[in-house]
Structure 1
Amino acid sequence: MDYSLLNIALLIGTGFIAGIINTLAGGGSNLTLPALMVMGMPADVANATNRVGVFLQGISASLGFKKAGKLDTNDILPVMIPSLIGGLVGAFAASYAPEVWLKPLLLGAMICMTLIMIFRPSLIVPPEGTQPFKIKEKPSAWLTLFFAGVYGGFVQAGVGFILIAALAGTLRYDLVRTNALKMICTMGFTALALGVFIWNDQVLWLPGLILACGTISGSYIAVKLAIKAQPKHLKWFLFIMTVCGSIAALSST
């Protein structure tokens, strides 16, 4: 492994940007995974090591949203259960199944989200004052959250878009509360995935913790931005990140 100052700066810098992107939208791992591989990691080790930053960023963002009163604690358990089950399935699958199985599904989901946000943005971004549904009222949200967990446990990159589709598009949370619950779900299934990868001795802790310094800082800043931003600004940021995520997924297929 090459721990030059340049590579350390690369990890912290990409981690910082990814922490902002992951907290406000999704797709930050499209930056951090290549950064880890630049240091000489095989793809499976980079995939596992990346979870250290994702998990610690999730803690930072969740605490920030909770302190700001934007995390609906009564809704945490119902939305976490399907994503945790899916995360465990995905994490075990990552040790045996080829990554190409899920990439086309993610690409399709992001392209659909991009088109919806162009032609029917209210389906993904509910109008202000919309009363969210409980998950028992929308069984389709359970399936979407389960799939998000499977994908997140498998490769992580872009899972935020699927969680947003479930939480904002199906359950009708506003974008700030969606992002708060999204980070809780991500933290939960990432913890399970990280446990599987640690068991398989696939995590390199030093670069993972260096990366986490950036992701934690980025998520802290992103929570502040999310609380202060106008809903329309968050909507446009989500749209831009969805387009970028689609391009990244296309270029890697």
Structure 2
Amino acid sequence: MDYNLLFLVFIGFIAGIINTIAGGGSLLTLPMLIFMGLPPSIANGTNRIAILIQNFFSSAGFKSKGITTFPFSIWMGISALLGSIIGAYLGAIYFKDEIFNKILAIVMVIIVVYMIFKPKVKRDINSERIEKKYFWHLILTFFFIGIYGGFIQAGTGIFILLALNSIGKISLVKSNAIKTVVVIFYTLSALAIYAYNDKINYSMGLTLAIGNSAGAWFSSRYSVNKGDDLVRWFLIIMVSIMAVKLFFS
């Protein structure tokens, strides 16, 4: 029995729950793939398989609860998709592995600081702002989120929720539903670029996807959100440790 694969399923399950609740699951899975021996660029591409499949399951979970975001989520997804083409090129081709490790470590630290001091996300908002100038503000924002998502992915969900909540005044539940659609869109283009450049380990990616999908479905279907603070501090501690290890590796 390959215990590494079982461990990947477990990590994927935890990351799937985290991704669906608030985003940030890739802050665990991406460095973990690197620590398990994959070159950073291949770990970056491999992680996309799990992200894509997980978000299909998560989106299905939201839909089964009657939460739909069409066509708004499609427009945001297209914008992010266009940006991710640029980001994926940077992640798959442009940056060397050693530099990528240090960039990822720095990004992880920045996200940890944000997670410690971030304002509370409003769960229930009655007056959405998704028309006229706010729509175009979000379109532009999601283009840049797509660049980042195509490049690293880790923490993208956090930025998506922040944009939807602060600019669009969209509730947390609906924002999470939109997030799953957006991630599917930009991950498709990013994954294609990583695959074209032979930057994917399919067996590890599919194994991770099993755990990711189970965690995402469980979380989206049963609204597991009572442990938000516990999840946040777990992420902060684990990500901090891995960021230090990555930076000096």
| TM-score, normalization by structure 1 | 0.83
Residues 129 and 26 of structure 1: is their aligned pair in 2 closer, same or farther, counting only changes over 3 Å? closer
Give the aligned partner of residue 130 of structure 1. 126
Give deviations 1:196-243, integer Å, cap 9, x for gaps. 0110111111111111111110101010232x75xxx47646754774
Residues 234 and 167 of structure 1: is their aligned pair in 2 closer, same or farther, counting only changes over 3 Å? farther
Q: Say whether residues 1:174 and 2:171 are aligned partners.
A: yes
1:246 Cα deviation after fit:
7.0
Q: Say whether residues 1:40 and 2:37 are aligned partners.
A: yes
- Contact 1:27-1:241 within 8 A present in 2 as well: no
Give the aligned partner of residue 83 of structure 1. 80
Residues 125 and 203 of structure 1: is their aligned pair in 2 closer, same or farther, counting only changes over 3 Å? same
In structure 2, C-alpha distance between the alignment counterparts of 1:112 and 1:140, rounded to whole Å: 22
Residues 9 and 105 of structure 1: is their aligned pair in 2 closer, same or farther, counting only changes over 3 Å? closer
Q: Which amino acid aligns with 2:150?
A: G
Selected match of 2:158 from 154, 158, 161 = 161
In structure 1, C-alpha distance between the alignment counterparts of 2:238 and 2:71, rounded to whole Å: 31
The number of residue pairs the alignment matches comes to 240
1:83 Cα deviation after fit:
1.1
Give the aligned partner of residue 144 of structure 2. 147
- Runs (5+) with no aligned partner, structure 2: none
Aligned counterparts, 1:60-71, within 5 A: 60-71=57-68
1:103 Cα deviation after fit:
6.3
- Runs (5+) with no aligned partner, structure 1: none
Residues 236 and 163 of structure 1: is their aligned pair in 2 closer, same or farther, counting only changes over 3 Å? same
Give the aligned partner of residue 73 of structure 1. 70
Q: Which amino acid aligns with 2:94?
A: Y
1:53 Cα deviation after fit:
0.5
Residues 247 and 34 of structure 1: is their aligned pair in 2 closer, same or farther, counting only changes over 3 Å? closer
Instruction: Identify which range, 170-179 or 28-37, moves more after superposition.
Output: 28-37
Structure 2 SS opposite 1:164: helix
Structure 1 SS opposite 2:170: coil
In structure 2, C-alpha distance between the alignment counterparts of 1:67 and 1:74, rounded to whole Å: 18
- Contact 2:86-2:150 within 8 A present in 1 as well: yes
- Contact 1:114-1:242 within 8 A present in 2 as well: no
1:86 Cα deviation after fit:
1.3
Percentage of identical aligned residues: 31
Instruction: Identify which range, 236-245 or 128-137, moves more after superposition.
Output: 236-245
In structure 2, C-alpha distance between the alignment counterparts of 1:168 and 1:69, rounded to whole Å: 20
Residues 221 and 43 of structure 1: is their aligned pair in 2 closer, same or farther, counting only changes over 3 Å? same
Selected match of 2:205 from 205, 208, 225 = 208
In structure 1, C-alpha distance between the alignment counterparts of 2:2 and 2:107, rounded to whole Å: 37
1:7 Cα deviation after fit:
0.4
Q: Say whether residues 1:115 and 2:117 are aligned partners.
A: yes
Give deviations 1:43-90, integer Å, cap 9, x for gaps. 111111111101000111011111211231121222212211111110
Q: Say whether residues 1:11 and 2:8 are aligned partners.
A: yes
